[in-house]
Amino acid sequence: MNHYKAPVADIRFALFDVLNVGDLYARLGIEVDREMLDAVIDEAARFNETVLAPLNAVGDSEGCGFDPSTGAVTTPTGFKAAYDQFVEGGWSGLTAPEAFGGQHLPESLGAALKEMIDAANLAWGNYPLLSHGATEALRQHGQPWQQDAFLKPIVAGRWTGTMCLTEPHCGSDLGLLKTRAEPDADGAYSITGTKIFITAGEHDFTENIVHLVLARLPDAPAGTKGISLFIVPKMKVDREGRMGERNAVRCGSIEHKMGIHGSATCVMNFDGAQGYLIGEANRGLVAMFTMMNTARLAVGIQGLALIDRAYQNALAYARDRLQMRSLSGPKFPDKPADPLIVHPDIRRMLLTCKALSEGSRLLATHAASLVDIIERSSDPSERQNADLLLSYLTPVVKACLTEWSVECTYHALQVFGGHGYIREWGMEQLARDARITTIYEGTTGIQSIDLLGRKIVQQQGAGLRQAAAMLDAFCREQEGNPAVAEFIATLKTRQGELARMTLEIAGKAAGNPDELGAAAYDYLFYTGYVLLAYWWARAVVAAETADLPEAVKAGKRETARFYFARILPRCDAHAAAIASGADTLMSLADSQFT
């Protein structure tokens, strides 16, 4: 009973009216016209609505199968056939460079495809997600022969990729990892160790799976400075790209999770498996973060996708379900009761989902457009500034959009009432699936300390200055524009408060490093809410001049008003928490946690 309709109108509004990607693409030398872009969006919508969305409940109810005697994993009914259609349609190489067999379309367009995939079927979407991260690592750090042997089959969709980072004794603290890499006489390495939580580590989609594995060389220094990255295929591959016998890598088990049941989360055992060093020895984290940052943006888009699907279904239910009369008098006197949508609290929840989904779409699409600039601009200064801004935005996109997906799937359950908890309606699956997005590729706490500790303090706020300049320029340009006059003063005030808090936190942290950790979570969300305010103000400006129906323009304007009045004030609570300092968290003795 749960449905999905790709939000192609709002995707087009984000790309063409707000972000004006047509001009961006032309400036970057990307030879695509509007007709082609529209065709890609429409075909992506058709594929996801008709092929992937119907399999969402199937994947949840069936899950993946595991044969302990062989280590083989089978995906839910229809998943492999859908992947075959995905590859046949050319989607696996949509944004990959032409040199490796891809179509090299913009990443900002790829973000739209990714949102549709994840809204249609989040569990299925995890399989190509990991391939995208492996593609980026091989493209940026692989040797030419490695790109020929491994990257081209991944781009073609014949093989898939994984990231093998975490181990049983270490979660996000990779400095503790124990997987070993012993040099072989032929220049390859023997990889031995166990990795856990490996998404798509084993499946039946493709004949080969390319694992990118973090391991230590025999003479490696301790900690993160002694980590190297290795290519370890399921089936052995020689330097000419010829596939051989089965490698010494096997799935030991699959996890039984609260959500994303159709996504195989594997324990992977490497027992002297043949591998090849990618990048420099003991510099594996550099290549790993190429994968990780790509994945963090992708997981943020997963959050956006779940918000949108939950909102769509809650809205449809609220229009249809009759429940009590409006407090201000019957709105449908010919019916026995009014529909849910007339009630203020239902509207509060629906508007929260609408405001967070449409605002998040702009934030995430902008981040993806920065990837286009970094990869294709001929101006070194522009590339550098885009890289600084993207680095700053990445933890915000990942953490805020996934946490908001938990909030909004909860709101959707509330709209459905008791029916929200019944499997046939599909809402409880969205809520369960949303929970994992806040965890994998780095928890919300890790994203928070990455933003405040690394991107602000260690990098001396370089990315923050780029964001502040972007907001300041917009406010100056729109000074006196009646369409956004009600938003500009508030946006400027919040931006000023963020700058002031940043300096205060840095000052406190100089005397007590715990101040960073204590402020990080609230600082990240304060940042996220301010950025969304900026994008909602920009959306109003764009809507006023776009060729849109008046009802759509009014909808953007009223949703922006709701956001500024009802959601942006959450910043005050975050500011108060930051001001309370580290003592409120650290003064309680360990023994007093009883």
Three-state secondary structure readout of 480-533: CCCCCHHHHHHHHHHHHHHHHHHHHHHHHHHHCCHHHHHHHHHHHHHHHHHHHH
* Prediction pTM value: 0.97
518 and 581 Cβ atoms separated by less than 8 Å = yes
Work out the burial of residue 433: count CB atoms within 10 Å of its CB; fewer than 13 is exposed, 13-18 middle, 19 or more buried: buried
76 and 62 Cβ atoms separated by less than 8 Å = yes
Domain-located, residue 50 = no
Sequence letter at residue 80:
K
Sequence letter at residue 399:
A
Phi, psi of 215 (to 5 degrees): -155, 170
The catalytic position among 115, 202, 441, 515 is 441
List the domain range (segments joined by +) for residue 507: 461-585
* 163: nearest Cα among 261, 253, 295: 295
Residues 167-222: tens digit of each pLDDT: 998 877 777 889 999 999 999 999 999 999 999 999 999 999 999 999 999 999 98
d(CA 312, CA 357): 11
Domain-located, residue 485 = yes
Considering only CA atoms, give the Rg of the chain.
Answer: 24
Domain-located, residue 196 = no
d(CA 212, CA 220): 18
Question: How far, CA to CA in Å, does 401 sit from each of 198, 224, 398, 444, 473?
Answer: 23, 29, 6, 10, 25
Domain-located, residue 396 = no
pLDDT confidence of residue 172: 73
Both tokens of 47, joined, read: 């594929």
Question: How far, CA to CA in Å, does 534 sit from each of 7, 455, 496, 557?
Answer: 22, 20, 13, 13
DSSP result, 304-356: HHHHHHHHHHHHHHHHH-B-S--TTS-S-TTSSS-BGGGSHHHHHHHHHHHHH
Domain-located, residue 298 = no
pLDDT confidence of residue 57: 97
d(CA 502, CA 464): 10
Domain-located, residue 440 = no
pLDDT confidence of residue 461: 94
Residues in a beta bridge with 160: 209
Give the pLDDT of the chain (594 residues) as one tens digit per residue: 789 999 999 999 999 999 999 999 999 999 999 999 999 999 999 999 999 999 999 999 999 999 999 999 999 999 999 999 999 999 999 999 999 999 999 999 999 999 999 999 999 999 999 898 888 889 999 999 999 999 999 999 999 999 999 999 887 777 788 999 999 999 999 999 999 999 999 999 999 999 999 999 999 998 888 999 999 999 999 999 999 999 999 999 999 999 999 999 999 999 999 999 999 999 988 887 787 788 899 999 999 999 999 999 999 999 999 999 998 999 889 999 999 999 999 999 999 999 999 999 999 999 999 999 999 999 999 999 999 999 999 999 999 999 999 999 999 999 999 999 999 999 999 999 999 999 988 999 999 999 999 999 999 999 999 999 999 999 999 999 999 999 999 999 999 999 999 999 999 999 999 999 999 999 999 999 999 999 999 999 999 999 999 999 999 999 999 999 999 999 999 999 999 999 999 999 999 999
441 is catalytic: yes
DSSP result, 51-113: IIGGGHHHHHHH--EEETTTTEEEPPTTHHHHHHHHHHTTGGGSSS-GGGT-----HHHHHHH
Domain-located, residue 285 = no
Q: Is 277 left (phi over 0), alpha (psi -120 to 50) or beta?
A: beta
pLDDT confidence of residue 352: 98
CA 440, 375, 9 angle in degrees (round to 5)? 70
3-state secondary structure of 229: strand
Residue reference for tokens 């249609």: 120
pLDDT confidence of residue 408: 98
* 165: nearest Cα among 152, 155, 178, 154: 178
Length of the chain: 594
C-alpha count within 13 angstroms, C-beta hemisphere, residue 66: 21
Domain-located, residue 534 = yes
Q: CB neighbours of 166 closer than 8 A, spacing ≥ 6?
A: 172, 174, 195, 196, 197, 198
Work out the burial of residue 39: count CB atoms within 10 Å of its CB; fewer than 13 is exposed, 13-18 middle, 19 or more buried: exposed
Sequence letter at residue 217:
L
The count of structural domains within the chain is: 1
pLDDT confidence of residue 371: 96
Q: CB neighbours of 486 closer than 8 A, spacing ≥ 6?
A: 561, 564
The sign of the torsion formed by the CA atoms of 466, 468, 470, 476 equals negative
Residue reference for tokens 């779940």: 306
Q: How large is the greatest C-alpha to C-alpha distance in the chain, in angstroms?
A: 84
Q: CB neighbours of 300 closer than 8 A, spacing ≥ 6?
A: 364, 367, 397, 398, 399, 400, 401, 402
